[in-house]
Amino acid sequence: MSLAALALLILGLGLIAWVAARAKAMSFGSTGQARQHSLPNYHGWYVALWAVLPALFFLTIWSSVSGGLVTQTVLESPAAASLPAMEMQRDAILDEARRLAEGRIDAAFNPEAEALAPIYAEATSFYSLIGSSIALLLAFAAGAFAFTRLSPTFRARTRVERLVMASLLIASLIAILTTLGIVLSLLFESLRFFSMVSPVEFLFGLNWSPQMAIRADQAGSSGAFGAIPLFWGTIFIGAIIAMIVAIPLGLMSAIYLTQYASGRVRAWMKPALEMLAGVPTVVYGYFAALTVAPAIRDFAVTIGIPGASSESALAAGLVMGIMIIPFVSSMADDSIAAVPQAMRDGSLAMGATTSETIRRVLVPAALPGVVGGVLLAVSRAIGETMIVVMAAGLAANLTANPFQSVTTVTTQIVQLLTGDQEFDSAKTLAAFALGLVLFIITLLLNIVALRVVKKYREAYD
Amino acid sequence: MTDMSDTGMSDIAAGQRVLNEAAPKMIARDVDVFYGDKKAIDNVSIDIALENVTAFIGPSGCGKSTFLRALNRMNDTIASARVTGKIELDGEDIYSSGMDVVQLRARVGMVFQKPNPFPKSIYENVAYGPRIHGLASGKADMDQIVEKSLKRAGLWEEVKDRLAESGTALSGGQQQRLCIARAIAVDPEVILMDEPCSALDPIATAKIEELIHELRGRYAIVIVTHNMQQAARVSQRTAFFHLGNLVEYGDTSEIFTNPRATRTKDYITGRYG
């Protein structure tokens, strides 16, 4: 019996258990005894969950274990004695035998596989029979056990609610565990990288040229892994140029929207501004690469700036800054709106103008929120990939000239990992080390941002 | 307004001002205030004299706060609010196009129901007004204004050693006196107080009332209050508002002992409100 059919069968059993338990619980009501603790529905759910969950849980475990058991059986059979001892060849033959047994291929390349296929098929059906029997038995037994516990005073509701809470907890743990898994994988791959390249060279080296020589006589592929130019490029674009654009524009638009705009203007302007955040970054990317970058290069050439490149830090930074505006403005908007009206009235009643009130009272009071928003925006900007891949270029220049091409951490990760790659060379592993650094920086920024917002928030009641 | 010495910061100047004031400080004639289509104040006329503390009393929603906010055009900040009729300050129509609202609010200060010090230091709270109006010519001058204002608000002794601390860290009553000091610092002619004690405990309330006594005569004070005992204690003139109308206006002693209108009598004897 296939796994899906079995699962359906168990769910069917669960439905029957639900109906039966509910009917039983309904009958409690008619006996006219003391009030039932739980509604019939809860009794139904209680029994159904008992019938379904243990069986499904067993199936999950079983499906991961049974494969190994089958292989074990096949290997122990007399026909398997002639198999080569080398693992790779043996695995290939076993795999073929399995596919023969499942009917996915008609003929095998290895003659041994033909002999093993019937044994394989037999073992598979044997274990699947065992698995199905246990699962069904489990469903029946657990369902029956739960069914016998039902009584008018049985607290089915409490138990079902507890299970609901547990499942919610598991759902939230999955996200956390995934993050942990990502961090661990980054960490281990990075450790492999750092066993080839010293962390000091990586973190403080000024020369980035990750191309490794494939042949010994190949020239110009030394494999230098100094990531400073990348870090600089990332900061230059994401934290400097983008923020020079995003902070003033975001803040001023937030001030306009909260303090000056009439209700009607605000009603269409705020969603329109937030639409910026909905534009896919790849669209920003080609806007930066095809429209902004050439315009900036032409401008630079016109005013005679040397070294102007068609892939400039300025183009990527400008467009990224535009992209970030909604983040800054919505955080600033929220924190300005959180400053109580009494504060504003107090200032206006002193004879301050609206702009004096904003400058001297509202913005200082809202500053923690604004700073938090800016830090979050920075962390978003330095992790941003598409715009810089398209518009910032690949040359790892260490330059403060915004018209020149620089490269960023994310761009290099994309470069290192796209296409056919060998995953044991320093070149590829460098991507993980870069990813780890990026992760740590954004994590720190997020922590600092949240702390700033929390600590300095004025508690207006 | 720019020179501190001759505009009432000393007792003598203030005394002279009282003597010179024959006409009322503020005059309102046929004032209506609307919120959108709703009429919140209906045809109110009143004179406010410098030498008196004037109390506005009346049940909740009677329009007394609305009318108070009309006196320094704070209703301008509410988009739907509209004021008709005439309100004059020293004979000048405050709703005329020639009246600068910034100047008006420097002359007619306001203290709010809930203490609303800025999240700045005590010093900066008081210095806020003089700074935006350019009243101080230097650091020493500003120090003097701050000290004088805090002294007048009866707060100096309590805060003189911690002027750099945040104004929001003070107790409620101190915060309210800080707000009064802040209003005094720009040397206004009229101070409007919108239920200044409603958020305070009895002891803090007593201090504010005492302060109002001391400030009387130096500034024309208008106080909105829910508390009739408070009106009786601090004011010389009382105006009773009900449903947007000014029902009765007269000497406080008169209003409380011998009200002419039945509505006033009912309110004062506690039939409603």
ipTM: 0.83
DSSP state string for A29-80? HHTT-SPPSS-HHHHHHHHHHHHHHHHHHHHHHHHHHHHHHHHHHHHHSGGG
Range with lowest mean pLDDT among A416-430, B13-27, B86-100, B159-173: B13-27
C-alpha A277/C-alpha A328 separation (Å) is 11
Residue B2 C-alpha, separation from nearest chain A C-alpha, in angstroms: 14
Per the CB < 8 A criterion, the answer to whether A460 and A210 are in contact is no
Check A351 against B114: CB less than 8 A apart: no
Number of helices followed by number of strands (H, E) in chain A: 18, 2
DSSP state string for B32-61? EEEETTEEEEEEEEEEE-TTSEEEEE-STT
Pick B74's closest partner by Cβ from A262, A345, A364: A345
Question: What range defines the domain where residue B140 resides?
Answer: 4-268
User: What is the model's pLDDT at position B21?
Assistant: 43
A310-339 mean pLDDT: 89
Check A344 against B77: CB less than 8 A apart: yes
B29-57 mean pLDDT: 92
Q: What letters, b where the CB count within 10 A reaches 16 and e where it falls short, cover A325-354?
A: bbbbbbbbbbbbbebeeebbbbbbbbbbee
Chain A segment 115-174 residues within 8 A of B by beta carbon are none
Pick A351's closest partner by Cβ from B77, B103, B118: B103
Q: What is the mean pLDDT of chain A?
A: 86
Nearest CA in chain B to A356: B132
C-alpha B166/C-alpha A51 separation (Å) is 63
User: What is the model's pLDDT at position A118?
Assistant: 83
Residue A342 C-alpha, separation from nearest chain B C-alpha, in angstroms: 6
User: What is the model's pLDDT at position B16?
Assistant: 36
What residues form DSSP beta bridges with B88?
Answer: B27, B93
C-alpha A40/C-alpha A358 separation (Å) is 60
| B101: chain A residues, CB-CB within 8 Å | 351
Neighbours of A162 (CB within 10 A): 11
The secondary structure element, H or E, covering residue B76 is: none
Q: What is the mean pLDDT of chain B?
A: 87
pLDDT, tens digit, 9 for 90 and up, residues A79-112: 777 777 677 777 888 888 888 887 777 777 777 7
- Count of pairs with CB atoms under 8 A, one residue in A, one in B: 69
Range with lowest mean pLDDT among A140-149, A414-423, B72-81, B221-230: A414-423
Query: 3-class secondary structure for B104-127?
Result: HHHHEEEECCCCCCCCCEHHHHHH
User: What is the model's pLDDT at position B14?
Assistant: 36
Percent of chain A's residues with pLDDT above 90: 31
Pick B74's closest partner by Cβ from A263, A349, A352: A349
Q: With an 8 Å Cβ cutoff, is A85 touching chain B?
A: no
pLDDT, tens digit, 9 for 90 and up, residues A37-70: 788 888 899 999 999 999 999 999 998 888 888 8
Residue B124 C-alpha, separation from nearest chain A C-alpha, in angstroms: 10
Does the pLDDT value for residue A219 go beyond 70? no
**Residue B273 included in any domain:** no
Best mutation target, B132, B135, B192, to test chain A (most A CBs within 10 A) = B132
Percent of chain B's residues with pLDDT above 90: 59
Q: With an 8 Å Cβ cutoff, is B77 touching chain A?
A: yes
Which of the four pLDDT bands, split at 50, 70 and 90, describes residue B178? very high
Mapped onto helix, strand or coil, the DSSP state of residue A309 is: coil
Q: What letters, b where the CB count within 10 A reaches 16 and e where it falls short, cover A192-225?
A: bbbeebeeeebeebeebebeeeeeeeeeeeeebb
Domain ranges of chain A: 3-154, 210-459
Q: For chain B, what is the domain count? A: 1
Give whole-number Cα distances, A308 to A128, A188, A297, A404, A406, in Å.
68, 40, 6, 5, 11
C-alpha B186/C-alpha A352 separation (Å) is 11
Residue B266 C-alpha, separation from nearest chain A C-alpha, in angstroms: 33
Does the pLDDT value for residue A211 go beyond 80? no
pTM tops 0.95, yes or no = no
Residue A458 C-alpha, separation from nearest chain B C-alpha, in angstroms: 8
Residue written as tokens 């992760």? A439
Best mutation target, A258, A350, A361, to test chain B (most B CBs within 10 A) = A350
C-alpha A381/C-alpha A388 separation (Å) is 10
Does the pLDDT value for residue B176 go beyond 90? yes
The secondary structure of residue A256, as a DSSP letter, is I
CATH code, B110: 3.40.50.300
Instruction: Tell which residue, B135, B112, B131, B111, has the closest CA to residue B121.
Output: B131
Q: With an 8 Å Cβ cutoff, is B134 touching chain A?
A: no
B164-171 mean pLDDT: 90
Check B128 against A350: CB less than 8 A apart: yes
Q: Which CATH class is domain A210-459?
A: mainly alpha
Does the pLDDT value for residue A458 go beyond 80? no
User: What is the model's pLDDT at position B70?
Assistant: 93
Check B133 against A351: CB less than 8 A apart: yes
Residue written as tokens 């489990």? A138
A418-436 mean pLDDT: 83
Neighbours of B250 (CB within 10 A): 16
Which of the four pLDDT bands, split at 50, 70 and 90, describes residue A339? confident
Percent of chain A's residues with pLDDT above 70: 94
User: What is the model's pLDDT at position A150?
Assistant: 86
B130-153 mean pLDDT: 92
Q: With an 8 Å Cβ cutoff, is B9 touching chain A?
A: no
Q: With an 8 Å Cβ cutoff, is A356 touching chain B?
A: yes
pLDDT, tens digit, 9 for 90 and up, residues A341-390: 888 999 999 989 989 999 998 888 888 888 888 888 899 899 888 898 88
A205-230 mean pLDDT: 74
